[in-house]
């Protein structure tokens, strides 16, 4: 806990809990839906200082901080919020950065409704004015953006340890680990397959949700701290994992799980069918949305996106921005089961995205030049719950119909890419191809650690960051037991 937090509980001149319960949750100002559906500018505009303080005042400073339990990295939420209430912004920022190295990112993309905010007692359990939790994500973003404008403090460099660590992959897991390891005095080199670091934060999540400037700022901080980054380095091709292990005292593998899964239906190889990863990478990383962008992408007029997660929402909203007159989500379960964040679904609806729920694709139709002309679908109904607890979709006989479209984007999931692992025969994988590790994140290859999506399967930004932090502590313990290599 922060050593100098403002006192909790009744303080003269400060509101008591009865008064706080009467304050409604402050809405996030948004760009107008009609304007933003033609633009890649960020949708959420951020809280003003006054509104942020009002929102912070809604925190009841509970004795048991339920919200902290809901945060995978245990950010001291009541601590930083109390400091915002008191207007002590620099301390709020330092406290927040203590627990979370990328709050400008997590404040924008964390699924707060099921994590920190999902545990806030104001969200339904308390007799408040609106039954809504404290806007923890909004406040986190506010403090991070304040810090970006007002603070640029690099951590004190640690004395050199004489140890060298390679980090493979520069998504949230790799970047967090690189930051932690350089703070410990190791020489750190990040190997990234793409031409720019950032992982999904850069190539997957679109600009209108997470401005790339925020990711680039974080990468720049790491570089100024001494982290070396080698772009265009595909481990498994440019180098192999065993080669890097020989050159480094330890290796952290954080290559994500970016291999797209396809539907396996007829017509999937027609022109105009994309995986969401390819579509989003062309637009976000290669700049295909810009007039002067060198990488092309199809600007479909009628676009069907198959899937119901964040990736599907990002793809369908991107298609709208690229000029689609009709952009449709095709999802085989109902709205209740949509795995995407509630805010993303709401924003997609506001932007005119249509939802074909309880609908499954059967085949992609094409013309004689092999261009997509439609998606044949079938209606579904919900049956018994499956192993995941969600009700299983069952086809409705005779319900087939065709959705006329020129583009189909497949966003039904991703899995581990075998590029790196297939060139490391000593690495033990599970049955789905993800790397097996012990509790400390060490793999079957001594000195090779792994974390993020390549261990968990497709998960979340904050879980990947949590792995980066936790496993770099394991790497430090491992390195403390190994002698410094000569030369
Ligand atoms: P990644 O972010 O995937 O980074 C891995 C990096 O390794 C990449 O840069 C890749 O190029 C590189 N790499 C891969 N193979 C090699 C190799 N062989 N050699 C060298 N480098 C390699 N999560 C949320 O919490 N909220 C959201 O709103 C959200 N939205 C998402 C939207 C999209 C479109 C996608 C795809 C994912 C989203 N996620 C979201 C999930 C989240 O982004 C991931 O769980 C997270 O990025 C995983 O982090 P990571 O560091 O493990 O891997
Ligand atoms: Fe909530 Fe995510 Fe921030 Fe944790 S990191 S407090 S879960 S927004």
**pLDDT, tens digit (0-9, with 9 covering 90-100), for 218-240:** 899 899 999 999 999 999 999 99
What is the three-class DSSP state of 220? helix
Sign of the Cα pseudo-torsion (87, 92, 94, 100, in order)? negative
pLDDT score for 486? 47
Pocket test for ligand 1, best of 106, 169, 197 (most atoms within 8 A of CB): 169
Where in the sequence of the chain do the CATH 3.50.50.60 domains occur?
A: 164-258+416-480, 261-414
Kindly report the length of the chain.
Answer: 487
User: Residue 165 and residue 477: Cα distance in Å, rounded?
Assistant: 13
Q: What separation in Å is there between the alpha carbon of 356 and the centre of ligand 2?
A: 32
Task: Indicate if ligand 1 lies below 6 Å from the C-beta of 129.
Answer: no
- CA 332 and chain centroid, separation: 24
pLDDT score for 28? 96
User: Residue 76 and residue 91: Cα distance in Å, rounded?
Assistant: 12
User: Residue 363 and residue 371: Cα distance in Å, rounded?
Assistant: 14
Quick one: tokens of 375? 């998606």
Determine what percent of the chain falls in helix, strand and coil, rounding each to the nearest 5: 35, 15, 50
Q: Look at phi and psi of residue 433 and say left if phi exceeds 0, alpha if psi is from -120 to 50, else beta.
A: left
User: Residue 339 and residue 439: Cα distance in Å, rounded?
Assistant: 28
- CA 420 and chain centroid, separation: 22
pLDDT score for 251? 98
> Class of 261-414 per CATH?
alpha beta
Sign of the Cα pseudo-torsion (421, 425, 431, 435, in order)? negative
Rg (CA), the chain: 24
Looking at 1.10.1060.10, 1.10.10.60, 3.40.50.1980, 3.40.390.10, the CATH number of the domain 17-150 comes to 1.10.1060.10
Task: Indicate if ligand 1 lies below 6 Å from the C-beta of 343.
Answer: no
Where in the sequence of the chain do the CATH 1.10.1060.10 domains occur?
A: 17-150
For residue 477, give Cα distances in angstroms to 184, 250, 436, 470, 472: 11, 11, 20, 11, 9
Of residues 94, 72, 86, the one with CA closest to residue 15 = 86
Stretches where the chain sits below pLDDT 50 are 1-3, 486-487
Report the CATH architecture of 164-258+416-480: 3-Layer(bba) Sandwich (3.50)
Of residues 475, 479, 480, the one with CA closest to residue 451 = 475
Which residue's CA is the nearest one to ligand 2's atom 5? 106
Q: How far apart are the first and last CA of the chain?
A: 42
């Amino acid at each position: 806990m922060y050593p100098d937090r403002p006192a909790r509980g009744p303080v003269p001149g400060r509101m008591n809990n009865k008064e706080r319960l009467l304050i409604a949750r402050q809405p996030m100002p948004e760009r107008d839906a009609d304007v933003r559906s033609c633009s890649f500018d960020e949708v959420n505009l951020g809280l003003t200082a006054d509104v942020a303080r009002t929102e912070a005042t809604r925190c009841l400073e509970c004795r048991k901080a339920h919200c902290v339990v809901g945060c995978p990295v245990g950010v001291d939420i009541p601590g930083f919020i109390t400091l915002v209430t008191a207007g002590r912004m620099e301390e709020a920022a330092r406290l927040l950065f203590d627990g979370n190295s990328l709050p400008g990112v997590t404040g924008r993309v964390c699924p707060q409704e099921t994590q920190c905010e999902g545990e806030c007692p104001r969200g339904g359990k308390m007799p408040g004015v609106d039954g809504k939790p404290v806007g923890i994500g909004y406040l986190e973003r506010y403090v991070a953006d304040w810090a970006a404008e007002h603070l640029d403090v690099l951590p004190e460099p640690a004395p050199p340890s004489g140890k060298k660590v390679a980090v493979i992959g520069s998504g949230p897991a790799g970047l967090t680990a690189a930051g932690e390891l350089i703070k410990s005095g190791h020489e750190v080199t990040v190997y990234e397959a793409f031409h720019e670091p950032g992982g999904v934060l850069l190539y997957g999540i679109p600009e209108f949700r997470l401005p790339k400037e925020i990711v680039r700022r974080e990468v720049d901080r790491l570089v100024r701290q001494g982290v070396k980054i080698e772009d265009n380095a595909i481990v498994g091709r440019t180098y192999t994992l065993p080669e890097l292990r020989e050159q480094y005292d330890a290796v952290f593998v954080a290559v994500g799980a970016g291999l797209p899964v396809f539907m396996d239906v007829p017509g999937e190889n027609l022109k105009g069918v994309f995986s969401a990863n390819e579509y989003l990478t062309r637009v976000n990383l290669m700049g295909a949305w810009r007039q002067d962008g060198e990488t092309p992408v199809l600007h479909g007029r009628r676009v069907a996106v198959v899937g119901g997660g964040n990736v599907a929402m990002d793809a369908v909203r991107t298609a709208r921005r690229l000029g689609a007159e009709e952009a449709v989500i095709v999802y085989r379960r109902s709205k209740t089961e949509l795995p995407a964040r509630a805010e993303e679904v709401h924003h997609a609806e506001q932007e005119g995205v249509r939802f074909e729920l309880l609908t499954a694709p059967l085949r992609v139709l094409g013309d004689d030049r092999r261009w997509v002309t439609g998606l044949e679908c079938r209606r579904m109904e919900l049956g018994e719950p499956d192993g995941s607890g969600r009700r299983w979709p069952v086809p409705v006989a005779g319900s087939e119909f065709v959705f006329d479209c020129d583009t189909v984007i497949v966003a039904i999931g991703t899995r581990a890419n075998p590029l790196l692992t297939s060139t490391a025969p000593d690495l033990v994988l599970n049955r789905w191809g993800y790397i097996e590790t012990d509790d400390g994140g060490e793999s079957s290859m001594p000195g090779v650690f792994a974390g993020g999506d390549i261990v968990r399967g497709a998960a979340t930004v904050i879980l990947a960051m949590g792995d980066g932090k936790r496993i770099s502590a394991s790497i430090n313990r491992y390195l403390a037991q190994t002698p410094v290599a000569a030369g």
